Structure 1
């Protein structure tokens, strides 16, 4: 018996909802990434890195925790941090307690770039997501996303 013999297949409605979720997530992410790059020169991932650093204690995070925070692989994070370093927005510092570990640290220039990009980005998020929903739908969406984020 293969694992496929015991699968509870998605109903037609479930399949439709699943595909709609994938399309909406992909479209929103693509549009926000394109808008950010056009307006600020930052990708959506880079913006997320700057936001995470700005919200962290001391505006610094261990690289492995930052990768989890912005939901990217460690190798992709390393590439993005290298780009942000070249832009002067982030610097890396070795961890005193772990010779193999590094901190990513937000610079003043990175904070300024984030502040400059934030207003337009938030307006686009509002336009593409929250303005299309009623307050009740936002409440339900929050509940659904909370359920889906749980392990």
Structure 2
């Protein structure tokens, strides 16, 4: 087997592992905390940011979403009371997403579920892919 074939095979294993882990995380967060995976990650990025706020475009970039998708996501967070939109005082065209205390609480309540599910999904991954990744990235 050539190195190109090995690389392709390895990459396909990584993609499969990613899909399996993402599905388990999404299911656990939805069932236990009523959050989608992107919503959870958005709350996490906001929780970690200075002043608990990010420009919409920066949030979109961190989540790997386009502007339309992040607008809908922030709309859901706003409707749930987990985040608010705020206009940039220096540039009225700029819009920030600001984490609310309810959003911070929901994120922190869900963080344990996320971490436990992630660890279990990686531990149970077939064919040693997760173990190899852990070793390679350590």
TM-score, length-normalised on structure 1? 0.79
Larger Rg: 1
Q: Which has the higher contact order (CA 8 A, sep 6+)?
A: 2
Name stretches of at least 5 consecutive residues in structure 2 with no aligned partner.
Answer: none
**1:1-151 equivalences in 2 (<5 Å):** 11-129=4-122, 138-142=134-138
CA distance, structure 2, for counterparts of residue 10 and residue 94 of structure 1: 51
Structure 2 CA distance for partners of 1:82 and 1:10, relative to 1, 3 Å: farther
- Per-residue displacement from partner, 1:23-57 (whole Å, max 9, x unpaired)? 11111111111111111110110000000000000
- Contact kept, 8 Å, 1:36 with 1:43, in 2: the verdict is yes
Q: Over the residues paired in the alignment, what is the CA RMSD in angstroms?
A: 2.1
Q: State the match for 1:148 in structure 2.
A: none
Name stretches of at least 5 consecutive residues in structure 1 with no aligned partner.
Answer: 1-8, 143-151
CA distance, structure 2, for counterparts of residue 11 and residue 139 of structure 1: 21
When the two structures are aligned, how many residues end up with a matched partner? Answer: 133
TM-score, length-normalised on structure 2? 0.86
CA distance, structure 2, for counterparts of residue 131 and residue 104 of structure 1: 36
- Contact kept, 8 Å, 1:90 with 1:106, in 2: the verdict is yes
